[in-house]
Structure 1
Amino acid sequence: MSDGNEEKPDVKPKLTVQVQFDGQTCTVKVKPTTLFKKIFEAAETRFGQPAGAFRYNYDGERIRPEQTPAELGMEEGDIVDAHLQQTGGSWT
């Protein structure tokens, strides 16, 4: 029998993370515990790029797919920068 004083489970509110690439912005609404892997997938789809095409930075630090917005102390509306990965290249 419930007396109405039960504590509700710890529900984390969603936050909006913006991913910027080449003057475009992709807005993703996620839980603070969502893995960046999912955010990266959404951004790559939105920007029409293949999986793994971007490298992501927040506050000048590289973001790894297994990290979460909560780990990085992100807040509502924070911006992640996406950059195309540079590959190869040589001076001949």
Structure 2
Amino acid sequence: LTAVPGIGLKSAQRLILELKGKLGKSTGIGESNIKSSPSAFSISGDAVDALVSLGYPQREAVSAVEALLSENKGLTSPELVRLALKNLGRK
């Protein structure tokens, strides 16, 4: 997470602590939207959780991640978060 611009060590640690109890919970992303491996669902869920922890509404975070996944296959969670933050910042 520290590779994401604007996320330092303390912020990354805080995000991990906040997300720790949420991992495995539903994020609102349907499995039909992610046609890759099961790990893609986990990666997108982690990215959505990170965006929600940063204060973005769940619906906005899900839309941003789904849009990125439809355009780019094989992105990691940090890449998804970085690109989503960039796209959400433009709005």
TM class by smaller structure: 0.3 to 0.5
- What TM-score do the two structures reach when normalised by structure 2? 0.34
Structure showing greater Rg? 1
- What TM-score do the two structures reach when normalised by structure 1? 0.34
Higher helix share: 2
